Amino acid sequence: MESDERIIDISQPSKRLLTGKVAVITGGARRIGAATAKAFAENGANVVIADILDEAGAELAAAIGGQYVHCDVSLERNMERAIQVAVGWKGLLDIMFNNAGISGPEGSITGLKTEQLSALLEINLNGVVHGIKHAARAMFEGRIAGTIICSSSSAAMMGGLASHAYTLSKAAILGVARSSACELGVHGIRVNCVSPHGVPSEMLMSSFRRLLGDQNLQPQDVSKIVGETGESVEGQGRERGGCGRSSGVSSKRQCRIYNRTQPSYRWRFHI
Ligand SMILES: NC(=O)c1ccc[n+]([C@@H]2O[C@H](COP(=O)([O-])OP(=O)(O)OC[C@H]3O[C@@H](n4cnc5c(N)ncnc54)[C@H](O)[C@@H]3O)[C@@H](O)[C@H]2O)c1
């Protein structure tokens, strides 16, 4: 990765970058969400884990001095309640991480079933919209210049990395994050996306196991495959621009994706 002086190493708890901040993390019970919950707590944040994995979520919340709330992100009332738990606990909400997501039905678009697409969008897309909506309301009420982060994916930028339904949902998240950033930015609320790539979580592992027909595949095997195919995503923070110039919230990112089987691409996009 090219150097970027704005990159901060959050693995150094001594810096305690989030002291006193209150965060809600959807899908926080495992993998990317759980790692984020731990990193936030190590940096001094009060974390509410919102998930449907009650046992794992409650266990992690207890371990990091946080709270757990059962929350199916596709149900707006569940999301509203998750935010209320945070506000009821510490009086405000500073950070919303809309991380919960599922992988989609694989196969040709010629066989894509509308009901499967709708079911996926209810979680991956509506869940994020519910999160932005209710986090923004809480931040307005508390007059908090908070931050809302949404999980998109490298699949939103490059075809062929995931199922059609999943790809569609992650591209739509980029869109709603941009439009929300333009509206909420004038109130000091930042909206951004993160776009992970090839993290061997349960989601990616089950897709690889299905695709390769090997139920014994381990995370290190998937990391190796992802590495060996030469796929990597490099992001480089850039100057503020576009709608961020007027709202002062959105940074322009330059993203390069390399793939051995395809030519190199270079995109510029706002997150
Ligand atoms: N793993 C990767 O390489 C990768 C790549 C790109 C994007 N992402 C995105 O990162 C996010 C986290 O994924 P992960 O890899 O840690 O996967 P994961 O499957 O390990 O974790 C997903 C979490 O979301 C929760 N969840 C699922 N449906 C939910 C619902 N309806 N309500 C509340 N919680 C729900 C799960 O219980 C789980 O805790 C997802 O949005 C995913 O699309 C992951």
What is the whole-number distance in angstroms between the Cα of residue 139 and the centre of ligand 1?
25
Residues 95 and 193 in one domain: yes
Does 267 score more than 50 pLDDT? no
Residues 91 and 48 in one domain: yes
Mean per-residue pLDDT for 92-120?
Answer: 96
Mean per-residue pLDDT for 217-231?
Answer: 78
Residues 188 and 142 in one domain: yes
Sheet holding 147-151, edge to edge: 67-70, 46-51, 22-26, 95-98, 147-151, 190-194
Residues 204 and 107 in one domain: no
Nearest CA to ligand 1 atom 32: 72
What is the whole-number distance in angstroms between the Cα of residue 204 and the centre of ligand 1?
9
Residues 136 and 218 in one domain: no
Q: Does ligand 1 have an atom closer than 6 angstroms to the CB of 56?
A: no
Domain count for the chain, please give it: 2
Q: Does ligand 1 have an atom closer than 6 angstroms to the CB of 53?
A: yes
Residues 193 and 217 in one domain: no
Instruction: Grade residue 156 by pLDDT with cuts at 50, 70 and 90.
Output: very high
Residues 171 and 90 in one domain: yes
Q: Are strands 251-259 and 232-240 parallel, antiparallel or unpaired?
A: antiparallel
Domain for residue 37, yes or no? yes
Q: Does ligand 1 have an atom closer than 6 angstroms to the CB of 60?
A: no
* pLDDT number for residue 207: 84
Predicted confidence (pLDDT) per residue in 41-66, tens digit: 999 999 999 999 999 999 999 999 99
Which residue among 153, 194, 201 has the greatest number of ligand 1 atoms within 8 angstroms of its CB, and so is best to mutate?
Answer: 201
What is the whole-number distance in angstroms between the Cα of residue 189 and the centre of ligand 1?
24
Residue 38 near residue 64, CB atoms below 8 Å:
yes
The helices-and-strands tally (H runs, E runs) of the chain is 9, 9
Domain for residue 188, yes or no? yes
Residue 72 lies in domain: 13-197
Q: Does ligand 1 have an atom closer than 6 angstroms to the CB of 102?
A: yes
The 10 Å CB-count burial string (b at 16+, else e) for 212-237 is: eeeeebeeebbeeebeeeebebebee
Domain for residue 76, yes or no? yes
Domain for residue 22, yes or no? yes
Active site members: 166
**% the chain with pLDDT above 70:** 78
Residues 105 and 215 in one domain: no
Does 177 score more than 80 pLDDT? yes
Residues 148 and 25 in one domain: yes
- Written as six digits, the tokens of 140 are 């307005």
* pLDDT number for residue 202: 84
Q: Does ligand 1 have an atom closer than 6 angstroms to the CB of 26?
A: yes
Q: Does ligand 1 have an atom closer than 6 angstroms to the CB of 123?
A: yes
Residues 27 and 104 in one domain: yes
Q: Is 29 left (phi over 0), alpha (psi -120 to 50) or beta?
A: alpha
Mean per-residue pLDDT over the chain, rounded: 83
Nearest CA to ligand 1 atom 38: 27
**% the chain with pLDDT above 90:** 65
- Written as six digits, the tokens of 120 are 């996926």
